[in-house]
Chains A and B, each alone.
Chain A
Amino acid sequence: MEKRVTFKGWLLPLCLIAPQVLVSAVFFFYPAGQAVWQSLFIPDPFGLSMQYVGLGNFEYLLSDPYYRASFLTTAIFSTLVTLCSMVPALFLAVVADRLIKGAGVYRTMLIWPYAVAPAIAGVLWLFMFNTRVGVVSWYLGHLGYDWNHVLNGGEAMGLVVVASAWGRISYNFLFFFAALQAIPKSVIEAAAIDGARFWRRFWTIVLPLLSPTTFFLLVVNIVYAFFETFGVIHTITSGGPQQSTTILVYKVFSDGFVGQDLGSSAAQSVILLVVVGALTIFQFKFIERRVHY
């Protein structure tokens, strides 16, 4: 089945991959290498002196119960963000796919939130859920529920998850929708003739055929939840109340740019790099087996 194009000689293939290698080297390997190097030192903020501490930064971090707790927070947060952004996206895509009239309008509207920058999305949600003047918390108050994410950790987590997942739904929708369109109608029709109803067709035919897309989105969304949600957290909770929304990447920022502790910050980015790398390898090794291309 697999088609391979083979080249004669080395020069042409090298030239072809050179731009990508160059980009990766400049924008990924070099900074990553710097982070590893810096994680072995405690520098002062102005770069006037550096003190070699070996693995001291890692020791310091891993012996900190608050840092270890932030792993659990991150796991909960990224699982929730991934679920909350993929499940509704799939649902919307399936529904939009069945539309006959006005599909274009729905599609466009559903894609819009993706254009909103995370920090802006954070502010929007913050306004709606503001404990004293927010529209949503006002209605909740009328229903007898006292919304207070400023003091309630669970509510704060819920809010940052929703704010992070919201814009992402659009992105996922786009991919699911395209994948649904690519499923041959004949397969679905054949199943329908055999008497399979919508949900049965969905579970046994559509979902398995979507698996490459689902897998791709899973990887991309987890990476998103780990790295890019920092703007939302910064604007909504700043990691609080207490430490209930301090995820790993937020701690990298706050130690590095609030605390000016570049050694600890570098060590944390190395740890984060390892965690996400391991997670991605795990996904490719074990989950990808269940993907049918």
Chain B
Amino acid sequence: MKNLTTGALIAGSTILSPFAAYAETEIQFWHAFTGRLGELVADQVEDFNASQDEFTVVASHKGNYSETLNAGIAAFRAGEQPHILMVFEVGTATMMAAEGAVRSVTEVMEASGAEFDPDAYIGAVNGYYTNTEGEMLSLPFNASTPVLWVNRDAFEAAGVDPDTDLSTWQNVGEVLTALKDGGSTCPLTTAWQSWIHLENLSAYHDVPFATQENGFAGTDVELVFNGEAQVAHISAMGEWAQDGKFIYLGRRNESGANFRAGECALFTESSAGYAGIEADAEFDFDVRPLPYWEGVGNSPQNTIIGGASLWVMEGHEPEEYEGAAQFLAYLSSTPVQAQWHQDTGYLPITNDAAEATRESGFYADNLGTEVAVLQMTANEPTSNSKGLRLGSFDQIRGIIDEEFEAVWAGDKDAQSALDSAVTRGNQLLRRFEQAN
């Protein structure tokens, strides 16, 4: 009976909703968030809808990042595309190449007359989604950057001072030895190995990941991440893996469970891991900037972002673009951004939101939350640290994962693994170039 009632309610609401929204223009917004993040997005949408009566944003969850992108692509092919689609950062080149499928945020905002100042956005965040002509293609929505998480209790248990300087990998190397000798079974682990230990490593040391300004300047890109700095880092990580100082637990963020359970002493993970670690960790933890190799490249430059941005899709009515523009302007407004940043640990996308958060005393009350912001904004991004724009990038990451696994297992040395990843990745880039 209960099921029947629920069923009837759902059926009823589906029938009624078009009438309820009759007077307002509907804006479809497809996203990839579940759980706490899903609730926060729902709140934002509800708040926007209540703030005016011209437009109604309808948010729908379409699965994880890859699934949401696929849903958007399939919908476009069927002529049913949403107005706003959330696409993760590695899908950026795919979206950019789809001329005729997407409309740039700059164009949408300017046409609508909504408040829009491209300079209000933080360069290092915004740069990832801006083309070489300075046109903002998509609106950064959730952006994070990798940091070093420290389990202070694990340090103490192994007899290592948790306040040791961990700003360089040289220091971390020594600490790992001390932790291992002190009985730690998991001195260091990582999430998202390609993003942190190759993509960010390259940006942080100001060495190129790919030619053509990491793909920003054109699609005839070649990967060049088999350079000296990267090989040295992967080689060191490989040695640590062989010695049981670096424990590899999976390609995604599987390792998060082990860190939150208190098993691992050091953890390289996104700054957005904050909410989960804060909630689960029954130990004292610290957030430190991502370590760099002293004396390699121009380190520390700045790290780059991960996460997703919002793309406006082609093929809708002018007044609907008006609504999309208003929604995007609402999301970028200072109070909304500052709240989002504080709730999720994602980076603020505007300077004003960062400033508002600082003034509210949030950083002082929640130590370590500012580390990511400082690390991102420390230096003006260079062509090596603006971000990456590569076709088939999701699959290239898969290749990098495979080659890394060969190094961690001791099957290959760092140089040959990275050489092979470059060769295989370049093949995919040529395919991508041919298709677009």
Chain A contact residues, CB within 8 Å of chain B:
42-49, 51, 60, 64, 66, 131-133, 150-152, 238-243, 254-255, 257-261, 263-264
Contact = CB atoms under 8 A, between A and B. Distances in A.
B402 A258 contact: no
B66 A42 contact: no
A254 B395 contact: yes
Given A42-B435, A46-B77, A240-B251, A259 B98 contact: no
Given A150-B249, A243-B402, A261-B432, 16 more contacts: A44-B436, A45-B73, A48-B98, A66-B424, A132-B257, A132-B263, A133-B258, A150-B250, A238-B251, A240-B251, A241-B409, A259-B395, A259-B428, A260-B94, A261-B395, A261-B431
B242 to A, nearest CB: 11
A260 B436 CA distance: 12
Contact of A43 (B66, B257, B435): B435
A176 B99 CA distance: 57
A258 B398 contact: yes
B295 interface: no
B257 A131 contact: no
A46 B250 CA distance: 32
A258 B427 CA distance: 16
Given A240-B402, A241-B402, A259 B77 contact: no
Contacts of A255: 395
Nearest to A151: B409
Contacts of A42: 431, 434-435
B70 to A, nearest CB: 6
A123 to B, nearest CB: 13
B94 A240 contact: no
A260 B73 contact: yes
A66 B73 CA distance: 28
Nearest to B424: A66
B330 interface: no
B423 to A, nearest CB: 11
B76 interface: yes
Contacts, number: 89
B248 interface: yes
B101 interface: yes
A241 B248 CA distance: 11
B434 A45 contact: no
B70 A257 contact: yes
6 contacts: A44-B435, A46-B76, A240-B401, A240-B402, A242-B411, A257-B66
Contacts of B263: 132
Contacts of A51: 434-435
A73 B101 CA distance: 38
Contacts of A258: 66, 394-395, 398
Nearest to B428: A259
B406 interface: yes
A243 B409 CA distance: 13
B97 interface: yes
Contact of B405 (A46, A132, A241, A257): A241
Contacts of B436: 44, 49
Scoring A46, A48, A64, A132 by chain B CB atoms within 10 A of each residue's CB, the highest score goes to A46
List 10 tightest A-B contacts by C-beta distance, closest first.
A259-B395, A241-B405, A46-B101, A151-B409, A47-B77, A46-B98, A42-B435, A242-B402, A259-B392, A258-B394
A45 B94 contact: yes
Contacts of B129: none
A151 B99 CA distance: 41
Nearest to A53: B434
B318 to A, nearest CB: 22
A131 B97 contact: no
Scoring B100, B258, B403, B435 by chain A CB atoms within 10 A of each residue's CB, the highest score goes to B435
Interface string B378-400: 00000000000000101100100
A259 B431 CA distance: 10
Contacts of B432: 261
Interface in B49-81: 66, 70, 73, 76-77
B408 interface: yes
A48 B251 CA distance: 33
A281 B293 CA distance: 60
Contacts of A260: 73, 94, 392
Contacts of A132: 249, 257-258, 263
A150 B431 contact: no
Contact of B99 (A43, A48, A66, A131): A48
A44 B101 CA distance: 11
Nearest to A150: B250
B266 to A, nearest CB: 16
B258 to A, nearest CB: 5
Contacts of B251: 238, 240
Given A44-B98, A51-B435, A254-B398, A151 B405 contact: yes
A240 B395 contact: no
Contacts of A257: 66, 70
Interface string B97-110: 11111000000000
B309 to A, nearest CB: 17
Contacts of A45: 73, 94, 98, 435
Contacts of B431: 42, 60, 261, 264
